[in-house]
Amino acid sequence: MPRARDEVLHARLAAEYGTPLYVYDLDDVAEAKADLFSSLPEGVDLYYALKANPHPDIVRILGEDGPGAPGCGTEISSTGELAAVLAAGLSAAGCLYTGPGKTARELDEAIRLGVRLFSTDSVTDVRRLDSVAARRGVRVETLLRVNAASASATTSIRMTGTPSQFGFDSEDLPGTLAELRADAADSGGLRAVDITGMHFFPLSNTTDEDNLVGEFRNTLAEAAELSRVHELPLRYLDIGGGFSVPYGVPGGRTRYPKLRTELEAALDVEFPHWRDGSPRIAFESGRYLAGGSGTLLATVTNVKVSRGRKFVITDAGINTFGGMSGLGRLLPVAVEPAGPGEPVERASLVGPLCTPGDVLGREIELPELAPGDLLAIPNAGAYGPTASLLMFLGRPAPTEVTVRDGAVVSASRLVHSRSPR
């Protein structure tokens, strides 16, 4: 959508619903899905990681078969995310349940509601899944999440190859498999779990296509080697993601023009039968699919100067858009409009909370703002409300509005209330 049209729409929505307000453009979500599928080999699966944004309208658009792109599966990591999948009208059968700390209680709930595919991170995790599924009398599948030992030559940001709560260390797989296989052989062992493949998630948010290609190549080679050496069945291979979109600053989704052909070539080498679904290949993304769709609208409540430094105080703090601040990283947010030629000044953009940590941007360039001005933080569709300190200081959650073709589809707000138990 052209910016001028956005500005008019945003001003109208802010007037109607108040701020802080998230606006999610569902057309952008559909476009992102089509863009990502067109960058991946034909016929692969793509899982949407609900962690990025569990809003049911977004989950539904991604899960539906649409023009130019099939429906995504859903990658979930809690029973709350499973509830969001079901609220979106999607099936639990399309879920991949992941996470290093799955409890028997949540596994039972997930299985009861129809989830059948789990990524597992340890022998304890596989055994727990097995006993819960056996008690329910159903068979489930698991992908062993692998923390690969070797790094791709081109990769700098990685979440693998180092000590981690995620996955099985690849060098320990022989022992792990022996343990799980012994389980299968003796009567007290694995009864209800089939190990059908592997899951890798080595990196996140990569703008460098060569880097991404290098990591996927590395993962494919590692998966092929592990499968061969350890006779590990490989019907399904999830090689993760890393697709990038700006976060809280202007800009478009990263394009990966070479990715499809590079991946197809690498797959042909490592898995000659992949085109016939042996193994089936899957990818995952959260931010790429949802990030570009969202704009956070906030109102300036005050502008003050303290010892020569300017502070722009808004009604949206880290309780509203605080994912990265919560993780101890400061978000280099940018604010629109600051069109070319418009005057800018240095100031800190802060929220309303009673903590000096409530900073969205420290000494950043901002347009000249005054109380009552509306500001827009772009690319806020992923890791927004649910990655924020929503409960902190008892402020209401932001309203979230979804729009399609410029018209409102839904408006809602998460509520938290105390209930006796």
Ligand X SMILES: *Cc1c(COP(=O)(O)O)cnc(C)c1O
Interface with ligand X, residue 254, by CB under 6 A:
no
DSSP result, 220-252: HHHHHHHHHHTT---SEEE----B---SSSS-P
Please give the C-alpha separations between residue 176 and each of 122, 146, 235, 236, in angstroms, as whole numbers: 8, 11, 19, 19
In this chain, which of 6, 130, 284, 400 binds ligand X, going by CB under 6 A? 284
Judged by beta carbon, residue 286 or residue 292, the one nearer ligand X is 286
* Cβ 364 to ligand X shortest distance, Å: 24
Instruction: Give kind and range of the element (H or E) at residue 178.
Output: helix 173-185
Spatial neighbors of 164 by CB under 8 A, at least 6 apart, are 147
Instruction: Give the H or E element holding residue 403.
Output: strand 399-404
CB-based contact 74:90 (threshold 8 Å): yes
Report the site for ligand X in 32-51 (rule: CB under 6 A).
Answer: 49, 51
Query: Can residue 241 be called a binding residue for ligand X (CB under 6 A)?
Result: yes
Among 120, 160, 204, 314, binds ligand X (CB under 6 A): 204
Q: Minimal distance in Å, beta carbon 418 to ligand X?
A: 30
Residues 136-155 that bind ligand X (CB under 6 A): none
Residues 328-387 that bind ligand X (CB under 6 A): 382
- Residue 74 as a binder of ligand X (CB under 6 A): the answer is no
206 binds ligand X (CB under 6 A): no
Query: Do residues 193 and 142 lie in contact, with contact meaning Cβ atoms separated by under 8 Å?
Result: yes
Distance in Å, CB of 291 to ligand X, minimum: 8
78 contributes a contact to ligand X by CB under 6 A: no
Q: Which stretch binds ligand X (CB under 6 A): 27-35, 60-68, 188-196, 282-290?
A: 282-290
User: Which of 85, 130, 87, 84 is closest to 111 using CA atoms?
Assistant: 130
Using rule CB under 6 A, residue 211 touches ligand X: no
Residue 338 tokens read as 């600051």
Between 100 and 189, CB nearer to ligand X: 100
Residue whose CB is less far from ligand X, 353 or 382: 382
Query: Which pair of structure tokens corresponds to residue 347?
Result: 């100031």
Q: Which of residues 39, 98, 122, 293 is near ligand X by CB under 6 A?
A: 98
Who contacts 341 (Cβ-Cβ below 8 Å, separation ≥6)? none
Contact yes or no for 402/26 (Cβ under 8 A): yes
* Cα(401)–Cα(274) distance, integer angstroms: 41
In the list 14, 52, 213, 360, the residue contacting ligand X (rule: CB under 6 A) is 52
Angle between helices 209-229 and 259-270 (to 10 degrees): 10
- Distance in Å, CB of 253 to ligand X, minimum: 12
Q: In whole angstroms, what separates CA 404 from the centre of its chain?
A: 22
Q: How far is the CB of 205 from ligand X (least distance, A)?
A: 5
Q: Does 94 bind ligand X (CB under 6 A)?
A: no
What is the smallest separation between the CB atom of 198 and ligand X, expressed in angstroms?
13
Work out how close the CB of 19 gets to ligand X at its nearest, in angstroms, rounded to a whole number.
26
Binding site for ligand X (CB under 6 A): 49, 51-52, 75, 98, 201, 204-205, 241, 284-288, 382
